[in-house]
Structure 1
Amino acid sequence: MKLRSVVRGCGSYLPPKMVPNADLEGIVETSDEWIVQRTGIRARHIAAEGETTSTLGLAAAKAALADAGMSADDIDLIVCATSTPDHTFPSTATMIQAGLGMHHGAAFDVQAVCTGFVYAVAVADKFLATGSARRALVIGAETFSRILDWTDRTTCVLFGDGAGAIVLEAQEGQGTSADRGVLTTQLRSDGRYRDKLYVDGGPGSTGTTGHLRMEGRDVFRFAVGMVTDVVEAAFEATGTSAQELSWFVPHQANKRIIDASADKLGIAREKVVVTVDRHGNTSAASIPLALDVARKDGRIMDGDLVMLEAIGGGFTWGSALIRW
């Protein structure tokens, strides 16, 4: 017997303000055609004044708990993935904990940029698989609109705000790939590529928040090149294959990256969940947002084999293979 981290519920939250590409034409030199052709993005959601990463994350957490039929009393761990915390400290996770009225357990943030949710799943899984916790809220929440340079058309058109969450519960399995739950996680990083995707500020360097900076062509090349490693490692660890996958849920950064990655891995495009067109790149929130969409519309069903994959600034990259 082996303890597995089984998904019991999922939820999401998007700010009400939706910004189509046409609205950006009055801010920077761009067009709907230019954005769609290069990224596949048609719209994104932007947090309103008074909305923060923790308020978005709290709404997603409540939705996930409701979907699981649970309350905050049932949770003993919160792991929140974010690169845009409300404050330098305390952590966004503890603010969500307080918002849930939860006064027990542990809550902390994980920062791996766009790979953050995969890292957070891996961390929570280790707690549950070792018996250190019973149930965990794993959240990805971002307000990237707050760190964008709105005069830089190469970046400001790409990102949006939002949050997604899942509830994981430790359950006994047989230790095979037929078990429900997280079957394996594969994490990687390489700090040599810092200058390809970063924020040019921080409390320990400039004392400012800074803005996102990116070398788009290099990020595209590395994203497609690096994804193979962690996905194939997940297949090898579990004795599964691309043909057995029910769904591939990659980080929603760019439709061209998603398509190229699926093709390289031999994953049929009809098995790929794509939400970048309506959400933009929501960094650590993108995978749980996509999961919630695919679960709610009936695509992801109990027993499905689901591959999560992401790459983010650092560089960081990783995968998680889950039997739903």
Structure 2
Amino acid sequence: MKNVYITRIAKFLPNEPVDNELMEEKLGVINGQTSKARRIILRNNQIKKRYYALDSQGNVTHNNAQLAAEAVNALCDDSFSKNQIELLSCGTSSPDQILPSHAAMVHGFLKNGNLEINSPSGACCSGMNALKYGYMAVKSGQVNNAVCTGSERTSSWMKSDIFEDEVAHLKEIEEQPILAFNKEFLRWMLSDGAGAVLLESQPNGNLPLKIEWMEGYSYAFELETCMYAGGDKQEDGSLKPWSEFPADVWGKMSLFAMKQDVRLLSENILQKGVESLKQAMAKHNITEDEIDFYLPHISSYYFKENLYNEIERQGLHFSWDKWFLNLQKVGNVGAGSIYLMLEELVHSGKLRKGNKILLQVPESARFAYSYAYLTVV
């Protein structure tokens, strides 16, 4: 088996940053009324700026595949061109279409010759699963290099017109035309962007990061669906997919909007996260003292202090000086968030040879967690 190094890392954030007061102007108001939940949600998540692939009139400027392709292009220069890429592995929770796959569409925009592609599905962990596929391919010698991406374009899923059919239907049946909180919650949480890394078997570059190991854990065997799109959650906790509904109710129920069971999220996301963290650390026999930088993907600063407390409760200790977050500046970019965090850390000037970095990515879809442990070489 070969060693695997992250030798380049890049990002692409579309357009100008959007502050909290401009969000509703970009996404649109529903039923002609400003959101009452928006300020509460923003006060809890503490996100100050985010990016949308929308222009000043709310028109789409980039689709998801274009965002990822831009991040890949940002990796390349005269010494490494996109035509040298041997494997393209792209993760997202908001693909532009059901078929073709996300990576196929990214490849279509890159137009960089014949290569292998991989498109892991899922939510936030899909970006890490894209990384793991590239990691295993380089490690096993199947390819000499791999480019992996994590990206999201959720703004178009959150625009007001997605919900207008449902609101109109509620008026028709004389019910209050207010969206359920599980639908509105994510409108003020998610944002757009992409990150990309180049993996190679040699420690090229100025400050390469060796991937020591990667791990993944799923709790779907014991927990029901929490975050979902393309279906509706039933009273018994099961998920009924869009394909089992008549086509004329897809809009009336906003079936393709992203939704979050907030109660289930708060009850499980931190506990299972620390439980899986302890499993990964025990498997690879590392302690807190062997982690210099801890990069946990959190969807909201509401979870920051609670995560710290849960880590302490379960017998670990990560002092605050180890934590590195950038949620307030770039927003929650789902599968792309961990790439954006690592990119900022790499370019921060804080890293020194020998530093150890732990990446932790949870996904609430049905509670899965991904980990990577890196060494600065």
TM-score by length of 2: 0.76
Q: Which stretch shows the higher mean deviation, 300-309 or 288-297?
A: 300-309
Q: Which has the higher strand share?
A: 1
Residue 62 (structure 1) aligns with: 73
Query: What is the DSSP-based 3-state SS (H/G/I as helix, E as strand, rest coil) of the residue aligned with 1:7?
Result: strand
Query: Which residue number corresponds to residue 159 of structure 1?
Result: 190
Deviation at 1:37, TM superposition (A): 3.3
Aligned match of 1:176 = none
DSSP 3-state at the match of 1:322: strand
Higher mean C-alpha displacement, 156-165 vs 268-277: 268-277
Question: For residue 89 of structure 1, what is the aligned residue in structure 2?
Answer: 99
Change in 2 beyond 3 A, CA 1:180/1:160: closer
Deviation of 1:239 (Å): 2.8
8 A contact 1:308–1:320 mirrored in 2: yes
Amino acid of the residue matched to residue 152 of structure 2?
E
Give me the whole-angstrom Cα distance separating, in 1, the residues matched to 2:366 and 2:100. Answer: 23
1:183 aligned to 2:207? no
Determine helix, strand or coil for the equivalent of 2:3: strand
Segment drifting more, 295-304 vs 41-50 = 295-304
Q: What CA deviation, in whole Å up to 9, does each residue of 1:202-257 have, x standing for no partner?
A: 77445667011112232133221112233223323333222221211122411132
Paired with 1:180 and 1:148, the residues of 2 have a C-alpha distance of 36
Structure 1 gaps of 5+ residues are 173-178
2:14 corresponds to: 15
SS at match of 1:22: helix
**Larger gyration radius, structure 1 or structure 2:** 2
Change (3 A) 1:43 1:131: same
Secondary structure in structure 1 of the residue aligned to 2:76: helix
Higher alpha-carbon deviation: 146-155 or 183-192:
146-155
Name which of structure 1's ranges 124-133 and 24-33 shifts more when overlaid on structure 2.
24-33
Pairing 1:106–2:116 present: yes
Residue 41 (structure 1) shift: 1.2
Task: State how many pairs are aligned.
Answer: 316
> What is the CA–CA distance in structure 2 between the aligned matches of 1:24 and 1:127, rounded to whole Å?
40
Name the CA distance, whole Å, in 1 between partners of 2:354 and 2:111: 33
Provide, for residues 279-315 of structure 1, a one-character-per-residue CA deviation record: whole Å limited to 9, x for no partner. Answer: 2211101110111112122234443211111111122
Percent of aligned pairs with the same amino acid: 20
Query: 2 CA distance for matches of 1:180 and 1:292?
Result: 11
Mark the CA change 1:93 to 1:280 in structure 2 (over 3 Å): closer, same or farther. same
1:236 aligns with 2:282: yes
Letter matched to residue 53 of structure 1 = N
| Contiguous gaps of at least 5 residues in structure 2 | 55-59, 161-178, 232-240
Contact 2:7/2:209, CA 8 A, preserved across alignment = no
CA distance in 2 between partners of 1:62 and 1:256 (Å): 35
Matching residue's letter, 1:157: W
Conservation of the 8 A alpha-carbon contact between 1:252 and 1:275: no
Equivalent AA in structure 1 for residue 269 of structure 2: A
Tell me which residue corresponds to 1:47.
Answer: 53
Q: Is the 8 A contact 2:38 2:188 kept in 1?
A: no
Question: Given that residues 180 and 303 in structure 1 are in contact (C-alpha distance below 8 angstroms), is that contact kept between their aligned partners in structure 2?
Answer: no
Contact 1:142 1:284 in 2 (8 A): yes
Q: How does 1:127-146 map to 2 (within 5 A)?
A: 127-146=137-156
Cα distance in 2 between the residues matched to 1:31 and 1:213: 15
* RMSD, aligned α-carbons: 2.6
Output one character per residue of 1:115-154: Cα deviation in whole Å (capped at 9) or x when no partner. Answer: 1222222222111111111111110011112223755542
1:261 equivalent in alignment to 2:307: yes
Query: Does the CA-based 8 Å contact 2:118-2:130 persist in structure 1?
Result: no
Query: 1:298 matched to which residue of 2?
Result: 349
CA distance in 2, matches of 1:72, 1:283: 25
Alpha-carbon separation, structure 1, partners of 2:297 and 2:191? 13
Matching residue of 2:371? 319
Counterpart of 1:307?
Answer: 358
Task: Give the match for residue 5 of structure 2.
Answer: 6
> What secondary structure is seen at the aligned counterpart in 1 of 2:21?
helix
Which residue of structure 2 lines up, in the alignment, with residue 115 of structure 1?
125
Query: How far off its partner does 1:77 sit?
Result: 0.7
Q: What's the secondary structure of 1:323's corresponding residue?
A: strand
CA distance in 1, matches of 2:84, 2:366: 35
Q: 1:127 to 1:203 in 2, by over 3 A?
A: farther
SS at match of 1:3: coil
Take 1:205 and 1:186, find their aligned partners in 2: how far apart are those partners?
Answer: 34
